Amino acid sequence: MSHRFPIRVYYEDTDLGQVVYYANYLKFIERGRSEWLRELGIDQQRLIRDEGLAFVVRRVEADYLRPARFDDALEVVTTLTSATGSRIQLDQAVTRDGETLFQSTVTLVCVDIRVMRAHRMPPALIGALGG
């Protein structure tokens, strides 16, 4: 099942040609991931505060397919592809009216923030992810 998160392109997201600046797609998918986790009931603030754990991006593969422009209504689509041990892999896309503009595969790692090393996800977290 995929999570969908709406985004509006603001002027600040664009270059002089009113096309979304390439790095901003990474910001868009970050927001999509945060909202996906929130919808699953995963409180990232609590995870950091109480368990000293956080998710960090380990790898991103990105394909820029079509430009988004100022004032476009976009949607970030996030789909879990795997969750094992300390890693989560997601497919994320930015779409406009059903057309894929940006496609990515993102690998997240759960880390102990005190030592910045990979840490196995707690059973409750894996359960929330559907595993």
Catalytic residues: 15
Rounded CA-CA distance 14/67 in Å is 10
- Which candidate, 1, 12, 4, places its Cα nearest to that of 95? 4
Tell me the Ramachandran region of residue 116: left when phi exceeds 0, alpha when psi lies from -120 to 50, beta otherwise.
left
